[in-house]
Chain A
């Protein structure tokens, strides 16, 4: 075998990720359901000595509206152009997005402009007319999981914990789930492409875990935009997640790790819903399989307090994983407010073990 040839093939799956000075835009889903994940990303970026800038004037990219088809493409492109203008005005050229739907939309827009330069000119005109703004396209476009992937070795070096069962010494068995819009449309925009994305595997490998392969590994979580947003359509959404859970269960995963804001929410909440609907749980001893964002996992590796990461707002309890990794936590503080006062407790589910 000629190693040069192999290197050439894998070059297609490499991605250039900027090393510092990022303009950060947030995710609508993440902010609503896992706000601690974004806070944690900014915290470890600071700890790793990186500069990340956020302009409070940035807004939704309108991606969920675009993919539920109420927002026209030209509107979505101009919303994207406005975010780029805010980046240019702030003097940045490395654009990092927290959201996978956004990342897919930014990629789609840049690719469209590449193929149809007249469309880019038209959108520049729209942005000028509507806001008076001009923009420079980003020099580097990355998802926050790309940046975390780039820093995985630094996080490991600074880390206090590993994805290893501290009693048995075995690696924690992890299922990785990549958001569809990370690289399905444009495989060259993601680390490892669409069929063998490496962005989460790289983190799991580096942090000591064991990656589990299973038949429905690349199946969608079932968001499907309008298929979740409208109550009548949610059978589509839960069926997709159930297909994945049924497929992964025989491989006994101890953690599901995701890079998309929507996926952890669906894989977390649908486990609860399925347990209520039919009494099925997918973890050990009546527990669910904990689901985490890569930011939350990086935070655990670095030794941040689990409740500062926001792990208390997961419907599937994360305690089994914390105990395996030997991470201390105070159950009494789980549902306290910032001043240490009680906010009451959520009701326990009827089928899934709750802490």
Chain B
């Protein structure tokens, strides 16, 4: 047993998610990620049960662990009560903890998620926030969202929201004392530490790649990780 495997075992989701895999492939057969990406949950679980640190390191530094959509379809169907989707959550946590996520194209995207969803949680108290969902970044939202975005306050008022106002209701302004509590929870439980790690490892990587990165979203590194597809992720090499 290796040091990385031991670290994974410290995550209760890993303990819960890995019993013994019989390699039946049911998880791969129903996995939406396996249909799109070069990804097989069966293979992933098989690697993990070898407890081979070299192979685990390869996973932590590679794209494979970032292909899963965490829909958890695999959990329902596994005849041995394995949960590949939960194992993915443990692998991704460790990859970020040790800074290996920046070594893959898909892993590097974590900074973009941290600076959007992560920021919105602490700033607004919501995982998503309408004024930040720009039509430019979301063309798939179509002309209806473009129209809503241009008339956000009036549309929200028409639909009965309490947008940015005090009191209960849709998209109410979350009181500052409650946002302060969220921040304290993040400080207390490792959320802030995770954010800082994502930032610091990404900064090092941006420097190594020679791509400009500053504090916001309008910089070359964020644009790069948000849009880049520089390799074929869908077919087996």
Interface, chain A (partner B; CB < 8 A)? 26, 28-29, 31-32, 35-36, 38-39, 54-57, 59-60, 62-65, 67-75, 77-79, 82, 104, 112, 115-116, 119, 126-127, 129-131, 180-181, 184-185, 187, 194-195, 218-220, 222-227, 229-236, 238-240, 243, 269-270, 272-273, 307-308, 310, 313-315, 335-338, 343-349
Chain B residues engaging chain A, CB cutoff 8 angstroms: 11-13, 16, 32-33, 35-37, 66, 68-73, 75-76, 83, 89, 92-93, 96, 106, 109-110, 112-114, 116-118, 121, 125-130, 133, 137, 139-148, 150-151, 154-161, 166-172, 174-175, 177-179, 181-182, 184-191, 194-195, 198, 225-229
User: What is the minimal beta-carbon distance from B131 to any residue of chain A, in angstroms?
Assistant: 10
With A69-B93, A222-B69 already in contact, the answer to whether A64 and B128 are too (CB < 8 A) is yes
Q: Establish whether residues B147 and A346, one from each chain, have CB atoms under 8 Å apart when the complex forms.
A: yes
Contact across chains for A231 and B121 when beta carbons are under 8 A apart = no
Query: Given A35-B160, A56-B172, A229 and B76 touching (CB < 8 A)?
Result: no
Cβ contact of A56, chosen from B157, B166, B188, cutoff 8 A: B166
A62 contacts which chain B residues (CB < 8 A)?
121, 127
Name B's interface SS.
helix
CB distance from A261 to the nearest CB of B (A): 10
Q: How far is the CA of A73 from the CA of B194 in the complex (A)?
A: 11
A287 to chain B, nearest CB (A): 15
Residue of B nearest to A73 (CB): B13
Residues of B within 8 A of A238 (CB): 140
B35, A344: Cβ atoms closer than 8 Å:
no
Question: A59-B125, A70-B194, A224-B33 in contact; A31/B161 too (CB < 8 A)?
Answer: yes
Given known A31-B170, A195-B76, contact A59–B182 (CB-CB < 8 A): yes
Q: Which chain A positions have C-beta within 8 A of B171?
A: 31-32, 35
14 A/B residue pairs, CB under 8 Å, sorted by A: A32-B130, A70-B117, A72-B189, A72-B191, A74-B190, A79-B185, A126-B185, A130-B181, A130-B184, A131-B184, A181-B71, A232-B109, A243-B35, A337-B158
